[in-house]
């Protein structure tokens, strides 16, 4: 019990910690793993030091149908939608208030932060973004750079201080910036007022009479100048400040601070900052970051004046020089004081529409700015209702104004809006798209200068700051052209943007009670993409989302990326990081940056619960450089304003930028533009990465090829079908029908019945033996006819070789022989095989089969080697070996491997028991010798504390190489294998998919390849096999299989969990049961596997897309801590939430659960391998299920699937048979039901134990842990 108690104590504390300390891919650590201590005080203003403490407030999403407590919601909500059919509110409440609403029958979900899927000389582009996306070729050939297009960046905000991206800020017809802050962070209060007596000659005079009522203070004139009287005889001036950190920190949204220093506004009575009314407004910008590299508070005094018309305030003047002194005071020598000047006269006035709304400061007059405080002109959603009726009245009790969208600058001078990004994520996504490549950067610290060019440098950006789940919908709808009017969303007649780009996702989906793709956010995304879905005149908007960084497991795409209608983007490699910063002089990264365009191990993969093929496209995610915020933390810092960026967070904006370039090209050709045409062109012109559809979609985005098609280049064509939308709609319609759309502000919320063209073919949910048909259209834009062959294909395993070894820890390189610098253990790829004779050890013939188009390398090791089970605290002591692949050129022919002879091809490094890396066309990737590196990470790590600094030890491992090629896929039949498409015309071909009668339930994938002389289209294809359940008391057994194949398959899971990753990490599988007997009202399900150290979580989804049962209910953790499931460890300084505890309710190798069945339709079993034993790369999963009516005695029917070694090569040949089994032959029936009973008891015991542990926590024990 003590060990368990310590573990749960740590787990409890982990909810407080944030997930910003990113351990990306094993041994690549980008940020410090020690949280910074934030100093909330300032030398500019005095605040209550006890104000910034954690509070009892949280943001909640509230749904309901009966608005009984309308006054409560009016007084406490941030914003909301209501109608006769129901309501939806975002509110900031105490836990007691939230619990009270739950007890009254309302649906209450705690809001949560988004998971931002997180790395005259000729100038060289450091990132290769334009080169790899081929936007440089598109610009050269067609003169397109994204001009005339607008992209909404839904992200952490954007800081436009870097000159490479300042030009890209979108502006309206008054040249005012267009920026939205639905999070409500950027309100700057300027309601402290100072009266100035200005005579008829416009001279400012001292004033001895009482100042007008309601004003804060006055001005005065001395020989030193004109000043705001702030000291007021030494008592100071109290000023209201907006708390941008609420509700995370601080007891209220408004707090007070006291200023003591008078501030200068003029040189003398004639030369001063003019205010036509004679009333100056003063405020304090109090902002910053609580985490990340810019974790520091920024305090900026700001003056607001009416310079042209009395009473109409038009100009802000921030005292940036004083703020800079305050911001950098921490690097002063002891005894030194900051040189505050409290002087507005030496600052630059900022006016909306001037084009210079950027709050930037050059501290040393070297021509380069060192300090940024954001961009003036954001429209901020009054989330907490501080500005009632858009006036300066400050509510004492957080009264709401139904989400009032405030003007960028209050004409009365009492507030303005500011856009910031202290996290930097949104700035990097913007720079990925629009960087002009004018600035130069010393990337590798070797004096050689590089530029950084984005995909679409002339596109315009609308930043939409949305750090919270509850605010993303507001941002989406506003960007799509909707306004929130009287609790409803009304279409304004035109989208505000052409593209919405999302580099974030939600991983902890169980908290939303729905799986990705069927959750409310994914549904809204699907509807927003689709024309006429919300309004007759609504044209739809293209929405791009990052797939996520939870790979290499399948089914790891989270929400809202799982939406079948949006564009989801996975990540590929770009080895420009080699030699940069922390990667310099590290032998394991090799010595060149030449390789790129391999699939990244962490890129999330499909399928989702629906079963459609995802992702759609791929682009750079590991890694690239982007211009960044110019803000420096130290006065003498030589750091340049760029950063290493990566993940699918980077891949998504590259595709968004590519779309901007494509739209410009289509406009030049006067072509019709809609979201599905855009998606189909990009998918039809993508470059094949030779991976499977659930990994790559159609392939790597290639905007040059897309523009070739748009411009009618000979040989180019696109492909789409009429069936995917119909099949998806059939599945989603019941889910959408259950959505109370009027409650979220829509009179119409539906997928249209009309045909929608889609390149990917989702053939739907089928029973074995059923057929699915689609008509494919091939579009030829050129002047010449095209002859195209159509062949269905799937990837098949050619051969798999293995090598067993033991790691040697802390080996040093002969060149970089430095303390703490270590090399991998090198193995020639030709040695990755079983050696039956001595001569085979010296056989170095090419190990890669000639016909292999894909190579997958894996390293697996036992869970006992990975984690020290004897540790007092679970997951407090583990180690890994990561995996590298090199091209070794033995330059000096000495047969000795040194790091300067290595070129990194790809790498993998998850914190689990299996590593996986992939190489496309492996025969083309090596000039020298293919060399594998197994790198034992030199120290051991703790889930709770990060690097323990304890030396690692050796461990046994198995290295395997799997080789694949595409072969014909027999399940699809074409009416014609060759199609002739006339010039500037279309041709159609009918395709039929016949589901073999021997397939077990699950998802199946492959391609339809359309190949012409000059162009190839890879159309991803997937379909679902459902298990028919049409009789009461049906018992179904689906035997697992031990597979050598590490691609997606049914009957097994592969090792893919990652303790440092996110909740979605691991490997997911789906089972589908088509319930057709209305008498069935329950199911008992048992899942079993082979390794004691493997753990499986199970979620059951009903036909309406709701999670109705799980074997890992969140229980008391879910109620009090918003835990998504019982087995989750939470986030920590080491992990973003990928850690799980082995919760087992039956025995070490099985789990049971009871499922209520309330209607006929398809029930989906979603399983998640949260932990993996590591005995091999895959592990079989066997399922037994009994569907019954608890009161009936109907004869039992067993459907059994048998798998054997002869059919491992093609999982379409599974033997299927159904037989009636007498009651006495159901051997497992008694034990099955007994197992369920035991499981329920164990589950209840676990819940009670956890509750006991929480109640018994001692503060002393918590302090001991930290």
Res 1018 pLDDT > 70:
yes
Strand partners, 681: none
SS3 letters for 551-593?
CCCCCCCCECCCCCCCEEEEEEEEHHHCCCHHHCCCHHHECCC
Token pair recorded at residue 386: 């501080």
Cβ-in-10-Å burial (0-12, 13-18, 19+) of 1071 comes to buried
- Alpha carbons within 13 angstroms on the beta-carbon side of residue 610 total 33
pLDDT tens for 863-874 read 999 999 999 999
Banded model confidence at residue 672, pLDDT cuts 50, 70, 90: very high
Question: Which residue's entry shows tokens 């359309």?
Answer: 1010
CA angle in degrees (0–180, nearest 5) for 519-520-521:
95
The pLDDT assigned to 112 comes to 59
The pLDDT assigned to 1008 comes to 98
Banded model confidence at residue 295, pLDDT cuts 50, 70, 90: confident
The pLDDT assigned to 1211 comes to 41
Distance of CA 277 to the CA centre of its chain: 49
The pLDDT assigned to 291 comes to 80
Query: What is the percent of the chain with per-residue pLDDT over 90, rounded to a whole number?
Result: 74
pLDDT tens for 74-91 read 555 555 555 555 555 666
pLDDT tens for 1155-1178 read 999 999 999 999 999 999 999 999
Q: What is the mean pLDDT of the chain?
A: 87
Three-state DSSP state, 734: helix
Which DSSP letter does residue 876 get?
Answer: S
In the chain, where are the structural domains located? 35-110, 124-173+424-760, 187-419, 795-967, 1026-1265
CATH code assigned to 795-967: 2.60.120.380
pLDDT tens for 464-473 read 999 887 789 9
State the average pLDDT over residues 141-160: 98
Q: Alpha-carbon distance 1213 to 75, whole Å? A: 63
Residues 6+ positions from 1233 with CB-CB distance below 8 Å: 1084
Res 989 pLDDT > 60:
yes
Res 1258 pLDDT > 60:
no
**Closest alpha carbon to 876 in 951, 953, 946, 809:** 946
Cβ-in-10-Å burial (0-12, 13-18, 19+) of 636 comes to exposed
Asked whether 1199 and 1030 are in contact (CB, 8 A), the reply is no
How far lies 1225's CA from each of 538, 977, 1190, 1228, 1230, in Å?
60, 50, 20, 9, 11
The pLDDT assigned to 2 comes to 45
Q: Alpha-carbon distance 1159 to 1219, whole Å? A: 26
What DSSP assignment string belongs to 94-118?
A: EHHHHHHHHHTT-EEEE--B-B---
Q: Which residue has the higher pLDDT, 714 or 14?
A: 714
Question: Which residue's entry shows tokens 């007691």?
Answer: 96
Cβ-in-10-Å burial (0-12, 13-18, 19+) of 837 comes to exposed
Banded model confidence at residue 535, pLDDT cuts 50, 70, 90: very high
Res 1201 pLDDT > 70:
no
Strands 460-465 and 197-198: unpaired
Sign of the alpha-carbon dihedral angle for 569, 504, 625, 921: negative
The pLDDT assigned to 86 comes to 56
Fold match between 124-173+424-760 and 795-967?
A: no
Give all strands (DSSP E) within 954-1001, no chain letters. 956-968, 972-974, 978-981, 985-994
Largest CA distance in the chain: 109
104-118, 271-285, 362-376, 863-877: range with lowest mean pLDDT:
104-118
Helix H or strand E segment including 284: strand 279-288
Which DSSP letter does residue 1097 get?
Answer: E
**Closest alpha carbon to 574 in 1056, 131, 29:** 131
Asked whether 1187 and 1033 are in contact (CB, 8 A), the reply is yes
Q: Alpha-carbon distance 1026 to 1038, whole Å? A: 12
Q: At what angle do helices 425-434 and 648-668 cross, to 10 degrees?
A: 40
331-340, 687-696, 1045-1054: range with lowest mean pLDDT:
331-340
What DSSP assignment string belongs to 518-530?
A: TSHHHHHHHHHHS
Long-range contacts made by residues 920-926, C-beta under 8 angstroms, separation at least 24? 920/597, 920/598, 920/599, 920/689, 920/690, 920/691, 920/853, 920/854, 921/690, 921/853, 921/854, 922/848, 922/852, 922/854, 922/855, 922/963, 923/846, 923/848, 923/850, 923/852, 925/595, 925/887, 926/887
Strands 204-205 and 237-242: unpaired
| Class of domain 1026-1265 (CATH, top level) | mainly beta
pLDDT tens for 1214-1241 read 333 333 333 333 334 434 444 444 444 4
State the average pLDDT over residues 797-823: 93
Q: Alpha-carbon distance 154 to 1209, whole Å? A: 44
Token pair recorded at residue 841: 């050890």
Give all strands (DSSP E) within 892-1051, no chain letters. 902-908, 914-920, 929-936, 939-942, 946-951, 956-968, 972-974, 978-981, 985-994, 1002-1011, 1016-1025, 1027-1029, 1034-1038
The CB density around residue 978, as the number of other CB atoms within 10 Å, is 10
How far lies 268's CA from each of 148, 200, 202, 220, 233, in Å?
48, 16, 12, 10, 22
Res 14 pLDDT > 90:
no
The pLDDT assigned to 1206 comes to 35
Banded model confidence at residue 739, pLDDT cuts 50, 70, 90: confident
Cis ω on the peptide bond leading into residue 247 (within 30° of 0)?
yes
- Alpha carbons within 13 angstroms on the beta-carbon side of residue 494 total 3
Q: Alpha-carbon distance 1027 to 1050, whole Å? A: 13
Distance of CA 749 to the CA centre of its chain: 26
- Alpha carbons within 13 angstroms on the beta-carbon side of residue 826 total 24
Token pair recorded at residue 376: 């003036």
Three-state DSSP state, 303: strand
How far lies 374's CA from each of 159, 464, 846, 1117, in Å?
6, 14, 57, 39
State the average pLDDT over residues 1103-1107: 97
Res 67 pLDDT > 90:
no
Banded model confidence at residue 1256, pLDDT cuts 50, 70, 90: very low
Token pair recorded at residue 958: 């198995």
Which DSSP letter does residue 332 get?
Answer: S
CATH architecture of 124-173+424-760: 3-Layer(aba) Sandwich (3.40)
Res 842 pLDDT > 70:
no
Res 514 pLDDT > 70:
yes
**Closest alpha carbon to 1000 in 1207, 1202, 1180:** 1202
Banded model confidence at residue 403, pLDDT cuts 50, 70, 90: low
């Amino acid at each position: 019990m003590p060990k368990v108690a310590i573990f749960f104590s740590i787990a409890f504390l982990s909810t407080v910690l944030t997930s910003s300390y990113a351990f990306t891919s094993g041994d690549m650590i980008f940020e410090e793993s020690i949280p910074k201590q934030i100093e909330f005080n300032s030398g500019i203003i005095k605040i209550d030091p006890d104000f910034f403490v954690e509070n009892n407030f949280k943001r909640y999403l509230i749904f309901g149908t009966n608005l009984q407590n309308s006054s409560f919601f009016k007084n406490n909500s941030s914003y909301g939608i209501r109608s006769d059919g129901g309501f939806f509110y975002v509110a900031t409440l105490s836990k007691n208030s939230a619990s009270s609403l739950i007890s009254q029958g309302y649906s209450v979900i705690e809001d949560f932060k988004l998971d931002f899927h997180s790395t005259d000389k000729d100038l060289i582009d450091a990132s290769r973004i334009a080169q790899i996306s081929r936007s440089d070729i598109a610009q050269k050939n067609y003169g397109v750079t994204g001009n005339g297009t607008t992209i909404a960046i839904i992200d952490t905000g954007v800081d436009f201080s870097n000159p490479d991206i300042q030009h890209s800020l979108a502006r309206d017809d008054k040249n005012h910036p267009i920026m939205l802050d639905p999070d409500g962070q950027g309100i700057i209060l300027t309601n402290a007022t100072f009266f100035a007596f200005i005579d008829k000659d416009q001279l400012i005079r001292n004033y001895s009479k009482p100042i007008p009522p309601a004003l804060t203070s006055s001005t005065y004139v001395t020989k030193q100048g004109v000043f705001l009287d702030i000291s007021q005889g030494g008592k100071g001036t109290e000023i209201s400040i907006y708390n941008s950190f609420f509700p995370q920190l601080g007891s209220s949204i408004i707090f007070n601070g006291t200023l003591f220093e008078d501030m200068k506004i003029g040189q003398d009575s004639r030369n001063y900052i003019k205010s036509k009314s004679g009333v100056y407004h003063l405020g304090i910008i109090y902002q910053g970051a609580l985490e990340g590299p810019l974790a520091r508070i920024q305090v900026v005094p700001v003056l607001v004046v009416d310079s042209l018309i009395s009473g109409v305030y038009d100009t802000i003047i921030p005292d940036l020089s004083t703020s800079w002194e305050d911001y950098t005071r921490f690097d002063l020598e002891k005894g030194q004081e900051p040189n505050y000047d409290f002087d507005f006269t030496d600052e630059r006035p900022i006016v909306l529409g001037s084009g210079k709304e950027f709050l930037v400061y050059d501290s040393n007059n070297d021509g380069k700015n060192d300090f940024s405080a954001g961009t003036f002109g954001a429209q901020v959603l009054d989330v907490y209702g501080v500005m009632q009726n858009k006036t300066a009245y400050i509510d004492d009790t957080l009264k709401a104004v139904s989400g009032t969208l405030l003007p960028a600058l209050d004409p009365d001078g009492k507030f303005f809006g500011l856009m910031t990004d202290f996290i930097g994520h949104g700035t990097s996504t913007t720079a990925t798209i629009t960087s002009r490549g004018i600035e130069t950067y010393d990337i590798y610290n070797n004096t050689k200068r590089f530029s950084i060019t984005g995909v679409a440098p002339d596109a315009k950006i609308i930043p939409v700051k949305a750090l919270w789940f509850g605010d993303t919908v507001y941002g989406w709808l506003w960007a799509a052209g909707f306004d929130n009017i009287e609790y409803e969303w009304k279409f304004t007649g035109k989208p505000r943007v052409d593209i919405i780009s999302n580099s974030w996702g939600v991983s902890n989906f169980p908290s939303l009670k729905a799986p990705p793709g069927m959750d409310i956010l994914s549904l809204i995304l699907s509807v927003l993409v689709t024309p006429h879905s919300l309004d007759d005149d609504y044209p739809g908007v293209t929405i791009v989302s990052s797939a996520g960084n939870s790979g290499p497991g399948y089914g790891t795409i989270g929400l809202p990326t799982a939406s079948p209608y949006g564009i989801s983007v996975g990540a590929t490699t770009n080895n420009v990081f080699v030699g940069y910063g922390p990667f310099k002089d590290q032998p394991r990264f090799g010595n060149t940056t030449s390789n790129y365009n391999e699939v990244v191990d962490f890129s999330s993969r499909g399928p989702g619960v629906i079963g459609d093929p995802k992702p759609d496209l791929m682009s750079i995610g590991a890694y690239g450089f982007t211009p960044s915020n110019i803000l420096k933390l130290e006065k003498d810092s030589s750091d340049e304003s760029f950063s290493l960026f990566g993940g699918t967070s980077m891949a998504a904006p590259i595709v968004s930028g590519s779309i901007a370039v494509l739209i410009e090209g289509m406009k030049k050709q006067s072509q019709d533009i809609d979201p599905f045409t855009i998606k189909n062109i990009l998918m039809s012109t993508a470059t094949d990465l030779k991976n499977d559809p659930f990994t790559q979609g159609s392939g790597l985005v290639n905007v040059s090829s897309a523009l070739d098609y748009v411009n009618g280049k000979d040989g180019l064509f696109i492909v789409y079908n009429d069936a995917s939308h119909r099949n998806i709609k059939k599945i989603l319609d019941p889910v959408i029908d259950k959505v109370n759309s009027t409650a979220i502000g829509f009179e119409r919320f539906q997928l249209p019945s009309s045909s929608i063209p889609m390149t990917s073919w989702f053939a739907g949910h089928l029973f074995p033996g059923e057929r699915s048909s689609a008509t494919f259209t091939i579009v030829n834009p050129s002047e010449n006819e095209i002859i195209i062959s159509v062949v269905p294909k799937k990837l098949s395993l050619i051969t798999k070789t293995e090598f067993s070894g033991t790691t040697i820890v802390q080996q040093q390189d002969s060149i970089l022989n430095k303390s703490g610098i270590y090399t991998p253990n090198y193995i020639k790829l030709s040695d990755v095989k079983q050696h039956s004779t001595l001569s085979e050890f010296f056989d170095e013939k090419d190990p890669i089969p000639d016909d292999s188009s894909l190579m997958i390398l894996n390293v697996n090791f036992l869970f006992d080697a990975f984690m020290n089970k004897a540790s007092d605290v679970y997951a407090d002591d583990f180690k890994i070996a990561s995996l590298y692949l090199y091209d070794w050129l033995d330059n000096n022919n000495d047969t000795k491997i040194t790091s300067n002879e290595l070129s990194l091809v790809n790498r993998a490094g998850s914190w689990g028991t299996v590593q996986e890396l992939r190489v496309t066309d492996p025969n083309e990737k090596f000039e020298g010798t293919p060399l594998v590196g197994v790198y034992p990470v030199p120290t051991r790590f703790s889930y709770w504390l990060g690097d323990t600094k304890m030396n690692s030890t050796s461990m046994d491992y198995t290295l395997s190489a799997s080789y694949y090629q595409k072969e014909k896929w027999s399940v699809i039949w074409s009416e014609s294998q060759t199609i002739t498409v006339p010039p500037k015309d279309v041709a159609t071909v009918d395709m039929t998919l016949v589901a073999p009668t021997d397939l077990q339930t699950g998802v199946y994938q492959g391609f339809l390849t359309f190949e012409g002389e000059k162009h190839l289209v890879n159309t991803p294809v997937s379909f679902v096999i459902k298990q028919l359940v049409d009789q009461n008391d049906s018992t179904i057994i689906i035997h697992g299989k031990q597979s050598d194949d590490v691609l997606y398959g049914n009957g097994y899971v592969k090792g893919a969990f990652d303790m440092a990753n996110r909740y979605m990490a691991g490997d997911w599988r789906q089972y589908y049961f088509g319930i057709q007997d209305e008498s069935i009202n329950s199911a008992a399900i048992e899942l079993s596997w082979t390794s004691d150290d493997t753990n499986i979580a199970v979620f059951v989804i009903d036909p309406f897309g709701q999670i109705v049962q799980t074997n890992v209910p969140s229980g008391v953790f879910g109620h009090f801590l918003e835990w998504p499931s019982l087995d989750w460890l939470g986030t920590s300084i080491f992990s973003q939430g990928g850690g799980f505890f082995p919760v087992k309710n039956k025995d070490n190798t099985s789990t049971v659960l009871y499922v209520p069945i309330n209607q006929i339709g398809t029930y989906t079993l979603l399983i998640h391998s949260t932990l993996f034993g590591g005995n091999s790369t895959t592990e079989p999963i066997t399922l037994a299920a009994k569907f019954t009516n608890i009161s009936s005695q109907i004869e039992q029917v067993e459907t059994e699937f048998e798998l054997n070694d002869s059919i491992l090569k093609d999982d379409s040949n599974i033997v299927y048979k159904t037989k009636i089994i007498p009651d006495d032959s159901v051997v497992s029936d008694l034990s099955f039901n007994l197992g369920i009973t035991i499981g329920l008891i164990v589950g209840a015991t676990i819940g009670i134990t956890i509750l006991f542990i929480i109640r018994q926590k001692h503060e002393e024990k918590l302090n001991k842990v930290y």
